[in-house]
Structure 1
Amino acid sequence: MTALIDRIDHETTAHGRIRELRLARPPVNALNPTLCDALHSAVDDAVADGVDGLLLSGGPKVFSAGLDVPHLLALPDGAALKAAWKSFFDAALALAQCPVPVVAAIAGHAPAGGCVLALCCDYRVMARSEDAARPFRIGLNETQVGLVAPEGIQRLMRRVIGPYRAERLLVAGELVDAERALALGLVDELADPEQVAARARAWLEALLQLPRKPMLTTRALARADMVDALRPENIQLDRFIDAWNEPDTQAGLHALVARLGK
């Protein structure tokens, strides 16, 4: 049974002890404050309801294209811009500090903010594209559009693939295809698109067979650095907002919007 929480932004589905939270903001699940706040609330609600695990999924072909840049550029002032970015970082923190395991079912592209959400999950299953010439890609491509990923976000990448590999991808703003993402350890498993969610559930169901308290306690200890990475002092949102208005950044962002318009 599927219960629509918000027909525009996301929906939830029960799979026994697991609750699926599906980003559902067509066409590419661009992350605006409404979607980020809805995801944050959905995580909190699931925990309050006593679920044993969460599955975060997106749309076919695009898990999430990242932050809604046209929306951000249209905001009237710095306060509104800061509030919008805070909504995103708060949603990421909700996933990172969730007390039950979260698996990402990535059935398509996951650049920028989409990659951040996936990095906040315990395990990532990504789709192989049915067209080898057009593979699905994932990564933090901020430098490509004139942004600097905050230190805390860079830590998320480093903890998964190691400092040097993270440096190379972050500096270049490179998006890697699914096969390379698997080789790097950026994702944990590949599956055909129609099997991504099922494989994600299978991993989570196997994890939930372990003795509950020892597993959850070990998990919390192992993920403490991830939660710390997303603390305000490691995001430095005011500095990030100041950099948003730099000429190079604005030029890159407007060029991105122009490409999206085509």
Structure 2
Amino acid sequence: MSLVTATTHGEIVELQLARAPVNALNPSLCQDLRAALGQAIADGAQGIVLSGGPKVFSAGLDVPHLLSLGADRDALMAAWQAFFDTALALAASPVPVVAALAGHAPAGGCVLALCCDYRVMASGPFRIGLNETQVGLVAPEGIQRLMRRVVGNYRAERLLVAGEMLDAEQALQAGLVDELTDIDNVATRARVWLEHLLALPRAAMLQTRLIARADLIEALQPEYIRLQHFIEAWYQPSTQGALQALVARLGK
């Protein structure tokens, strides 16, 4: 059974992450999302809404799973590659994709949202951001480019260096999300935005979008992710200690 559910709303398909309890991004979820996106497009979807669970869009990478891989670098490399491949698939989608964030979107959840065309977030006590430094990781250059692209260079620097998570209102003010709405209306508002976009002359809209998003796709190329370098840093004792502490906190 797929970890992503697809619901059709006319020419728009909503893809909902469905890996309880918090849509932690393991290789299976990443693979299912890529497959569902490809299938929706092949079936003629003109726009995609990417949603998650209530209160948590996605908690990011499945850190307990990644730590369980131990010294198996090939398996760890494959798990991270599955995530970056999924991010690239969203960024390179030939049709617009809107992130419907009905809850928290830290780390990998934020990356997926940054790869979308537009971000609608639930108002309230929900947070979004790239908090990698707080767990001893360095966001690759390509991921940092995604953040700079959306919020600007200086603000991205401040957020990335501190690993800061913004609440919904702060995220809106920073430009990290585009719109806030009631938690029950997030997916609906995402569809409304898409419907307005899809009402434009199609060829001109899509060609303009392709040009405008070229830098996003470039940011996710291997030379800016440097996955081997990232994996080496993963095994640093300080990083492993911070990650183990994170898992201990999650288990409480």
TM class by shorter chain equals: over 0.9
TM-score by length of 1: 0.95
In the TM superposition, what whole-angstrom CA distance separates every residue of 1:87-129 from its partner, at most 9, and x where no partner exists? 0000000000000000010000000000000000000000012
In the TM superposition, what whole-angstrom CA distance separates every residue of 1:129-179 from its partner, at most 9, and x where no partner exists? 2xxxxx100000000000000000000000000000000000000000000
CA displacement at 1:43 relative to structure 2: 1.1
In the TM superposition, what whole-angstrom CA distance separates every residue of 1:30-79 from its partner, at most 9, and x where no partner exists? 00000001101111111211210000000000000000000000015000
The corresponding residue for 2:20 is 26
The corresponding residue for 1:237 is 227
CA distance in 2: counterparts of 1:49 and 1:148, whole angstroms: 38
The corresponding residue for 1:92 is 87
- The alignment's C-alpha RMSD in Å is 0.7
Moved over 6 A (4+): none
CA distance in 2: counterparts of 1:195 and 1:261, whole angstroms: 31
**Of residues 57, 62, 69 in structure 2, which corresponds to 1:75?**
69
CA displacement at 1:82 relative to structure 2: 0.2
The corresponding residue for 2:127 is 137
The corresponding residue for 1:47 is 41
CA distance in 2: counterparts of 1:10 and 1:101, whole angstroms: 18
The corresponding residue for 1:59 is 53
**Superposed, which structure 2 residues align to 1:206-217 within 5 Å?**
206-217=196-207
**Of residues 196, 215, 234 in structure 2, which corresponds to 1:225?**
215
CA distance in 1: counterparts of 2:127 and 2:158, whole angstroms: 16
The corresponding residue for 1:196 is 186
CA distance in 2: counterparts of 1:48 and 1:13, whole angstroms: 15
In the TM superposition, what whole-angstrom CA distance separates every residue of 1:3-37 from its partner, at most 9, and x where no partner exists? xx61xx11000010001100010110000000001
Q: Does 1:152 align with 2:166?
A: no
The corresponding residue for 2:195 is 205
What secondary structure, in the 3-state scheme, does the structure 1 residue paired with 2:30 have?
A: helix
CA distance in 2: counterparts of 1:45 and 1:112, whole angstroms: 26
Amino acid corresponding to residue 243 of structure 1 in structure 2: A
- Unaligned segments of structure 1, at least 5 residues: 130-134
What secondary structure, in the 3-state scheme, does the structure 2 residue paired with 1:126 have?
A: strand
The corresponding residue for 1:132 is none
What secondary structure, in the 3-state scheme, does the structure 1 residue paired with 2:69 have?
A: coil
CA distance in 1: counterparts of 2:37 and 2:222, whole angstroms: 20
